[in-house]
Amino acid sequence: MEFNFLNKILKEICLENGIQLELLSYNYIAKLTKDNITKYIIGSSFGNNSCSSAKLATDKCCTYEILSSYNIPVIKHNFINTQNTNLDFTSKYNYDVVIKPNKGMEGKNVLHVTNLEDIIKVTNKMIKFEKAVTICPFYNIKSEYRTFYLDGQSLLTYDKERPYVIGDGINNVKKLIKLQNLKNISIKDIPKKELGYIPNKSEEICVSWKHNLCLGAKPKIVTDINKLSRIHKLAENAGHAIGITFATIDIIELFTGELMVLEINSGVSMTIFIEYEEYGYKIAKEIYKKAIDKLFEN
């Protein structure tokens, strides 16, 4: 199996810093040994985090409970499983909600639902193959940011720009998606009326409400000092509250300017960032090196 970006970076870091690297289980497990001390990286989950903090971050509802207990602005995630199926609370959101796996990743099986009948249908269906799901209010999001957090410090923040097509005044949205070679866009998730719309020349039309890079969004490094200051303060408060050491923290910005934590990820992946950002490989390597340095400090 070929090295992915992370394994390639790990190989370079270990070679340059006198660390013995052994890749196991089809390159899924990285065994790092230095001065008779061995540490492990599993997938994109580094050994920097305690078991409890990693589990809290993986569980969206637990993340909400912890952060809200510290009065940190965070999107409310309501826990639903086979023993707790009461959906009456969705009325206070006007039945405009997002339903997703409680421990889901990369925007998979994340659905926007706008009426009680579909909420019941989607929730019951999802519970059958997920141990637990979560329901949160749908927000009209201006921007979603990802911050790379290490030991109390924010190292990098990028804006996740939703995928869009640029109109030519001739072709409809569906045709433009194909002509402009937008990747990972699910046509079935876009209403037919929107697909059939013909944008004016130079008009930009978003083709997804999701901000996931794996679903077509693109990273754009945030450089605005004032904005970074606000984002980093919130991210660092959240990271400290949950007791995590190395993570990515996703923060949304509403059109009112309000910032809220969406979720915390104990796995730190930069593959798509590297593909889009000109100096992405160098930036990723610097971040991973700092995490590995911290790993061997403990």
Q: What is the pLDDT of residue 2?
A: 39
Query: Which residue would you say has higher pLDDT here, 84 or 118?
Result: 118
Q: What is the pLDDT of residue 1?
A: 32
How many structural domains comprise the chain?
A: 2
pTM: 0.92
**59: nearest Cα among 146, 150, 122, 132:** 132
Q: Which domain holds residue 189?
A: 163-208
Domain assignment present for 203: yes
Domain assignment present for 122: yes
Domain assignment present for 189: yes
Answer yes or no: do 134 and 82 share one domain: yes
Q: What is the pLDDT of residue 298?
A: 66
Of 138, 155, 186, the position where a domain reaches its end is 138
Domain assignment present for 196: yes
Domain assignment present for 216: no
Q: What angle do CA 181, 262, 223 make, to 5 degrees?
A: 65
pLDDT in tens, 139-161: 999 999 999 999 999 999 999 99
Give the mean pLDDT of 268-297: 94
Domain assignment present for 39: no
Domain assignment present for 56: no
Can you tell me whether residue 260 is helix, strand or coil?
strand
What is the CATH number for 96? 3.30.1490.20
**211: nearest Cα among 53, 98, 102, 114:** 98
Q: What is the pLDDT of residue 238?
A: 98
Q: Residue 210 corresponds to which tokens in the numbers above?
A: 């999701």
Domain assignment present for 195: yes
pLDDT grade for 55, boundaries at 50, 70 and 90: very high
Answer yes or no: do 82 and 131 share one domain: yes
- What mean pLDDT, rounded, does the chain reach? 92
Length of the chain: 298
pLDDT in tens, 245-281: 999 999 999 999 999 999 999 999 999 999 999 999 9
**195-209, 211-225, 232-246: which has the highest mean pLDDT?**
232-246
